[in-house]
Structure 1
Amino acid sequence: MATSERPWSAVLRYAESRQNLFGSVCGLAGVGIALTGAAGALWPLVVGGLYTAGALIAPPDRPATPEFAEEGDRLDRLRADFATLRGYLAEVELPVAARERLTALDALVEALLEPGWVTDPEHLHLIARTVRQDVPEAVDTFVRTRWWSRFSAGAEAPEEHLERQLTALHEQAVSVASALREAEAVRQQIHTRYVEERGD
Structure 2
Amino acid sequence: MDTNKPAKPAQGLLRYLESRKNLAGCALGLVGLALTFAGLAGAYWPFVIAGLYGAGALIAPPERPAAPGFADAVAQLDQLRDDFATLHGYLGEVDLPPAAAGKLTELNGLIAVLLEPGWVTDALAVDPEAVHSLSRAIRQDIPESVDTYNRTRWWTRLNPGTESPERHLERQLGLLFDEADAIATALREVESRRQQTHTRYLEDRNGAP
Report the TM-score, using the length of structure 1 for normalisation: 0.62
Structure 2: any 5+ residue segments left out of the alignment? Answer: 1-70
The answer to whether the aligner puts 1:148 opposite 2:150 as a matched pair is no
The answer to whether the aligner puts 1:112 opposite 2:114 as a matched pair is yes
From 178, 187, 191, the equivalent of 1:180 is: 187
Letter paired with 1:112: L
Letter paired with 1:124: V
Shift of the 72–144 alpha-carbon distance from structure 1 to 2, 3 Å rule, reads farther
The answer to whether the aligner puts 1:89 opposite 2:87 as a matched pair is no
User: C-alpha distance in 2, partners of 1:191/1:76?
Assistant: 31
Shift of the 72–160 alpha-carbon distance from structure 1 to 2, 3 Å rule, reads farther
Letter paired with 1:100: G
Structure 1: any 5+ residue segments left out of the alignment? Answer: 1-70
CA deviation after TM superposition for structure 1 residue 151, in Å: 1.0
Which residue number corresponds to residue 164 of structure 1?
A: 171
Superposed, 1:1-200 pairs within 5 Å as: 74-115=76-117, 116-117=119-120, 118-119=124-125, 120-198=127-205
Which is greater in Rg? 2
What RMSD in Å do the two structures reach over aligned CA positions? Answer: 1.8
Q: Aligned pairs, how many?
A: 130
Secondary structure of the corresponding residue to residue 91 of structure 1: coil
User: C-alpha distance in 2, partners of 1:153/1:199?
Assistant: 72
Report the TM-score, using the length of structure 2 for normalisation: 0.59
User: C-alpha distance in 2, partners of 1:155/1:109?
Assistant: 32
The share of aligned pairs that are identical, in percent, is 55
Letter paired with 2:192: A
Letter paired with 1:182: E
Determine which structure has greater relative contact order: mean sequence separation of CA pairs < 8 Å that are 6+ residues apart, divided by chain length: 1
User: C-alpha distance in 2, partners of 1:177/1:157?
Assistant: 31
User: C-alpha distance in 1, partners of 2:90/2:160?
Assistant: 30
Higher mean C-alpha displacement, 114-123 vs 98-107: 114-123
CA deviation after TM superposition for structure 1 residue 183, in Å: 0.7
Letter paired with 1:122: E
Letter paired with 2:190: A
CA deviation after TM superposition for structure 1 residue 92, in Å: 0.3
CA deviation after TM superposition for structure 1 residue 196, in Å: 2.1
Which residue number corresponds to residue 14 of structure 2?
A: none
